[in-house]
Structure 1
């Protein structure tokens, strides 16, 4: 391929920024990032925004490589045949390659009353709105956090540390990824912060009212402010553009992260579904997948065969306010080990991970192609092979 090559990156989160920065390795590549906000949002900090200990924004000048063009707008459609994207404010941007990195957010709540009376936290705007609501709510008023995953735990802990009366409703087990030993530690930390934890299927939320949350076993939990951290959703841009997606709306790709519809479109982060077997949602995975997506594009530009994605998850971490944390070590197959760091050590490791998620972007901007990550090469191929065998097995 000769002449200038235009690459459009749709989405300016961890995956999009990493991909954009890495693509600057070639001088003949012009990179444009289209993002609806003029600032980068480190989503790992959104619970801190709600609690008032972080503003959860970073200037793009700090994380985007010099020469990457930022367009603040929404992409309303992708024309794969015409190789262009339509913008909400009008106009079209053409591309030779497109990196689809639109990220994720909360799924639309299906529980009666949740859409009307519960507050999500998955986006900057949602977290800012919730912070404003809490600012106008007395400290003594009951607050309920729905969801026992990392976001729910961290939000409940942050608010409990500020002296609020918080109930954390899991609807299952607290911290499903955590090893049972680490889970016991998590319960202890939440108890110290005054957070009441309700676990098990009987604690599943069946309805949200203006002043209460109804549970499956008939209990009613008083709640002046209900915070909703359950569910996963992605923008429907790919589906609306006629591209194949999985059942959650993520762009279907092969193992190189290339769209099954068009080799000029490559996906990364939470909005990608390689082989219909997506990776666990995390800032860590988003950055690594963004880097791999860029490598796939660069291989195609060079006329080379892209490599399959290879990624392992070494750990998962959760903060419990500003004084404690759990850094859960994991096996390469993404299951928890009995070993974890807790207390102040866990808190420092969690803070290190949050800072590193941004520093990796800055490092890639100054030295494109430098980002590396732990590989596995064993468990994912085994999962794919087992699934192929299952699909080939005739049903009796």
Structure 2
């Protein structure tokens, strides 16, 4: 008689769905996905939900393998000793292996008034709260977007294209990931849309009120609606469960994505901190990490040594309204290079990526084990950093088997 193995995946985002789908390669596994929502959130379209051009939601039947059991609930605590999950509904789930893919959300702004007077946009619920507030605001309302990463840039452009009066407060550099050439292109597009961009050290927000934003240099900006996109945080489930985390709360793992505390727990996506050197929070990282996490679990079940992380990057794409965008190329170590594609072609490439992500998940659901991008050679920068860390770090403590 073949012994069945129970694998539970916590989190139904990009990493969790990829991991769950990939695990169905083996017929002797029971794969359960625990997620607080009944639908898949296509997070890279949340700015479009705010702008009204997309729902940012995909039915799980379109991306999740039929063999995966979906439990719509939240995990309150992980009991690693008993291999058991306490659910928010009061129920419980046992597991033999656990994939921790709880994702990320809005970070505590840490700025007076921001939590009360600004709208975050990091989750589906955040975006759904913001949308009616925008609809109720007159077209002349001054809108301030705080944060000049991809989400801030995309949200500012989306709303400005609709005729909104938008100020983008960078708190530093516009598009810090971008190459200088790409940054100039983005700045030019925002200027054409009428977005007022405030950058530099003086553009750091120090307070938010119901109708204004105050900056470090003393300026006070009228703001009838403030949108906060600066910074991401992760759920505190690992911390509450007594597992080792980094300062942000991401689960600490080795390079196979295995928890430093327990070889039965593997992490993926934004909530993972492999070797204390987490990757950039993005679907570009989450999907390969989900595949790698699944491969680690499958290797352990087979009694084999899991392969180590081999993450490769290639680009960052940002939409600049519905009619323009930028596809910023990067080297395999995720450092932007001089070459980019912008304008209408940049918008088309961004749309190809947005459509392609659910397709990757759906393809893995139909043909588990077919995804291969996580096997591409990665950049050398991470290897050098790890070598430097290993020269200083003490030997890891024994882990629970």
TM-score (normalizing by structure 1): 0.97
Residue 381 of structure 1 corresponds to 383
Q: CA deviation at 1:188?
A: 0.6
Could you list the per-position Cα deviations for residues 19-62 of structure 1 after superposition, in whole angstroms to 9, with x for gaps in the alignment?
00000000001100000000000100000000000000000000
Q: CA deviation at 1:377?
A: 5.8
How far apart in 2 are the matches of 1:67 and 1:174? 44
* Deviant stretches of 4+, over 4 Å: none
**368-377 or 43-52, which moves further after superposition?**
368-377
Say yes or no: does 1:284 pair with 2:284. yes
How far apart in 2 are the matches of 1:46 and 1:149? 14
Residue 397 of structure 2 corresponds to none
The residue matched to 1:217 in structure 2 has which SS?
A: coil
How far apart in 2 are the matches of 1:185 and 1:52? 25
Q: Retained in 1: the 8 A contact 2:15–2:269?
A: yes
Residue 242 of structure 1 corresponds to 242
How far apart in 2 are the matches of 1:192 and 1:379? 37
Q: How does 1:96-115 map to 2 (within 5 A)?
A: 96-115=96-115
How far apart in 2 are the matches of 1:351 and 1:299? 35
The residue matched to 1:202 in structure 2 has which SS?
A: helix
The residue matched to 2:232 in structure 1 has which SS?
A: coil
Residue 305 of structure 1 corresponds to 305
TM-score (normalizing by structure 2): 0.96
Q: CA deviation at 1:379?
A: 2.7
How far apart in 1 are the matches of 2:139 and 2:207? 24
Q: CA deviation at 1:364?
A: 0.3
For structure 2, the residue ranges without an aligned partner over 5 or more in a row are: 395-401
Residue 43 of structure 2 corresponds to 43
Could you list the per-position Cα deviations for residues 85-104 of structure 1 after superposition, in whole angstroms to 9, with x for gaps in the alignment?
01111111100000000000
Residue 173 of structure 2 corresponds to 173
Could you list the per-position Cα deviations for residues 63-112 of structure 1 after superposition, in whole angstroms to 9, with x for gaps in the alignment?
00011000000100001011110111111110000000000011111000
The residue matched to 1:341 in structure 2 has which SS?
A: strand
How far apart in 2 are the matches of 1:70 and 1:60? 9
**379-388 or 113-122, which moves further after superposition?**
379-388
How far apart in 2 are the matches of 1:35 and 1:391? 36
The residue matched to 1:337 in structure 2 has which SS?
A: strand
Residue 163 of structure 2 corresponds to 163
For structure 1, the residue ranges without an aligned partner over 5 or more in a row are: none
- CA 1:57/1:382 → structure 2, altered by over 3 Å: closer, same or farther? same
Residue 274 of structure 2 corresponds to 274
> What CA RMSD, in Å, does the superposition of the two structures yield over aligned residues?
1.1
Q: How does 1:206-221 map to 2 (within 5 A)?
A: 206-221=206-221
**314-323 or 1-10, which moves further after superposition?**
1-10
How far apart in 2 are the matches of 1:347 and 1:131? 23
Q: Retained in 1: the 8 A contact 2:65–2:366?
A: yes
How far apart in 1 are the matches of 2:388 and 2:83? 36
Q: CA deviation at 1:306?
A: 0.3
The residue matched to 1:55 in structure 2 has which SS?
A: coil
Could you list the per-position Cα deviations for residues 241-288 of structure 1 after superposition, in whole angstroms to 9, with x for gaps in the alignment?
010000000000000000000000000000000000000010111000
Residue 122 of structure 1 corresponds to 122
How far apart in 2 are the matches of 1:381 and 1:331? 15
The residue matched to 2:289 in structure 1 has which SS?
A: helix
Residue 190 of structure 1 corresponds to 190
Residue 62 of structure 1 corresponds to 62
Q: Retained in 1: the 8 A contact 2:5–2:30?
A: yes
Say yes or no: does 1:340 pair with 2:340. yes
The residue matched to 1:65 in structure 2 has which SS?
A: coil
